[in-house]
Chains A and B, each alone.
Chain A
Amino acid sequence: MPAPIAAPARAAAEAQPPPRRRLSPAGRRRGAGLLLLLPALIALTLFFVLPLLSILLDSFTSPEPGLGNYVQLFTDGYTLRVLGRTLVIALVVTVAGIALAYPYAYMMTLAGPGVRALMVTVVLVPFWTSMLARNFAWMVLMQDGGVVQGMLGLVGLGDVTLLGTTTAVAISMTQVLLPFMVLPMFSVMQQIDRRLLLAGQSLGASRLSTFRKVYLPLSLPGVAAGASLVFVLALGFYVTPALLGSPQSALIAQVISVRTRELLDFGGGGAMGVFVLVVTLVVLGLSRRLAGPGATTGAAHVMAGGNDR
């Protein structure tokens, strides 16, 4: 990708003041940069952005022009119930995730390098273990007469049916999504100067009080980033509810799947999809406000092996 070819691309992209000389070296570099980017941008546009726009269009035009699909979304009792159930499960999974991930991430910041490497690996195990293998494992564990039921029986809960219920779905989703909670939290907590805690104590605050007034507020951006990520991913989760839930307790993703794959109703399914997308963008936008862009990308780096930074 030699620079000379890049010159016109650059000139087209940015109208330059009268080209007295040829392009500056920096301009050439940028031109080459754009050229290198182009194939990926085209691919993403073709296989991602354009289809998204076409679905958006469908949701307003098919089967007939208007807001019919969206009106139906909020008036049709069934869809409303599914939406409500999905939001509740996403919320439960998020809250349970915070409760489990916070102490774990905190412990990661305290551990020595060896233990910490182990703890990072443990978090990444679910992330890089086949989604189906994990959900299948939960199916086996939570079936009637299975291990989890047996354990619940031991603490006197008797024969609770789990498989096919939203409880089973929530438990499994919590585990599956936990890495997305732990990693942003860790990446924020790691940057908190631990001397602040000593300072708090030297100024007369107890350990608990220092934690509440200094550490907790400083770690909140990580919590916000993790929580929004998990909430958003939980909203669109398909495999877990499909395997561990039941049609009676369907979540929005399953309904979208039925609408589009089986009924080919792209207008109706599309409207649901757009609704999920809007909620997603709003939640992510809010968390960006709260947490700044760093926390989420930091987590993405850990996941992709860019290591913690």
Chain B
Amino acid sequence: MTARPWLKIVAFLVGLFLTVPTLVVIPMSFSSSQTFRFPPAGWSAQWYERLFTSPEWTTAIVNSLQVGAATAVLATVLGTAAAIGVTRLGERAKGVATGFLLSPIIIPNILIALVIFSAFLRLGLSGTLSGIVLAHTALALPFVVIAVTARLQGMDPALQKAGGSLGASPWSVFTKITLPLAMPGVLSGAVLAFVSSFDEVVISLFLQSPTAITLPVQMFNSVTVQIDPTISAASTLMVLVVSVPILLAQVIGARRGNRGRQR
């Protein structure tokens, strides 16, 4: 059955609504004016210059990269181990464990921010980058678990048994069979963990201090506390550096997945 024309039009408009508004940030970032007027009256690269030279922005960028990298490492290690562990559990335990591991994705961020802030305040972790890393790790875990689980589910369990029957110890079955096969999932989990941390605002806002400001927090402050058009350059940077690679990976991944399924 083919789609009716009105359906195509509606879907197209919804597609526009999803994508186009965000693109405004690109021309905005080349604006010559101090205001957020759109379309810009003139063009300049001053906001990029400021983004990469002014200490408040460069520190925020470096902080975000550090936090993101640390989060990615921690969440990937914990999440991969957990995902592999889950596959070895019995059916019921599997459901409970998965539900627990995925819970941070469903709980509203403001709540996570609230509880982590109060706990970290008491532990002295508030206002430190390591505190933000720990919080982000809890938040990023579900992404790694999902990515690795998806990969493991497509794997023939007989492979691990075969490894064992061929004389491999459980440890070498894990390192030589399970892990290499799960690797694409692990890598995409790591990327997702990095991105989810790099883009996270609410928890970082709660845990911020003058020495622990991430890029999204700096952006948030640049429109709420002062009016600093550098945010448009930062936004463009985020779109280009974060979204584009992720989406490319998605498209390529989807193609691969489809091909694998048809076989």
Which of A's residues lie within 8 Å of B, judged by CB? 1-3, 28-30, 32-41, 43-44, 47-48, 50-52, 54-55, 58, 100-101, 103-104, 106-108, 110-111, 113, 117, 119-126, 128-134, 136-141, 143, 145-147, 175, 178-179, 194, 197-198, 229, 232-233, 235-239, 242-243, 252-253, 256-257, 260-261, 266, 269-270, 273, 276-277, 280, 284, 296-297, 300-301, 303-308
Cα distance A29–B161 when bound, in Å?
A: 11
* B 142-168 binary contact with A (CB < 8 Å = 1; else 0): 110111011100000000000000000
A295 to chain B, nearest CB (A): 13
Cα distance A11–B113 when bound, in Å?
A: 37
Cα distance A33–B157 when bound, in Å?
A: 14
**B82:A41 contact, CB within 8 angstroms:** yes
Which of B's residues lie within 8 Å of A, judged by CB? 1-3, 7-8, 10-11, 14-15, 17-19, 21-25, 28, 36-38, 74, 77-79, 81-82, 84-90, 93, 97, 100-119, 134-135, 137-138, 141-143, 145-147, 149-151, 169-171, 174, 188-189, 192, 195, 199, 201-202, 205-206, 216, 219-220, 223-224, 231-232, 234-236, 238-239, 242-243, 246-247, 249-251, 253-255, 257-258
| 8 pairs of A and B residues whose beta carbons are closest in the complex | A236-B108, A33-B88, A36-B85, A306-B150, A51-B119, A133-B235, A40-B82, A37-B85
Q: Counting chain B CB atoms within 10 Å of each CB, which of A54, A139, A300 scores highest?
A: A300
Which A residue sits closest to B202, measured CB to CB? A238
**A235:B171 contact, CB within 8 angstroms:** no
How many A-B residue pairs have C-beta atoms within 8 angstroms? Tell me.
Answer: 314
**B10:A104 contact, CB within 8 angstroms:** yes
- Chain A contacts for B106, CB-based, 8 A: 229, 232, 280, 284, 296
**A273:B224 contact, CB within 8 angstroms:** no
Cα distance A127–B1 when bound, in Å?
A: 30
Cα distance A255–B150 when bound, in Å?
A: 38
B100 to chain A, nearest CB (A): 7
- CB contact under 8 A between A125 and B100, given known A39-B81, A103-B14, A136-B231: no
Which B residue sits closest to A296, measured CB to CB? B106
**A136:B247 contact, CB within 8 angstroms:** no
A27 to chain B, nearest CB (A): 10
**A129:B115 contact, CB within 8 angstroms:** no
Which of B137, B205, B243 is A130 in contact with, Cβ under 8 Å?
A: B243
**A101:B239 contact, CB within 8 angstroms:** no
- Chain B contacts for A52, CB-based, 8 A: 111, 115
Cα distance A246–B174 when bound, in Å?
A: 54
A176 to chain B, nearest CB (A): 10
Cα distance A246–B64 when bound, in Å?
A: 28
Which of B7, B24, B87 is A137 in contact with, Cβ under 8 Å?
A: B24
B79 to chain A, nearest CB (A): 6
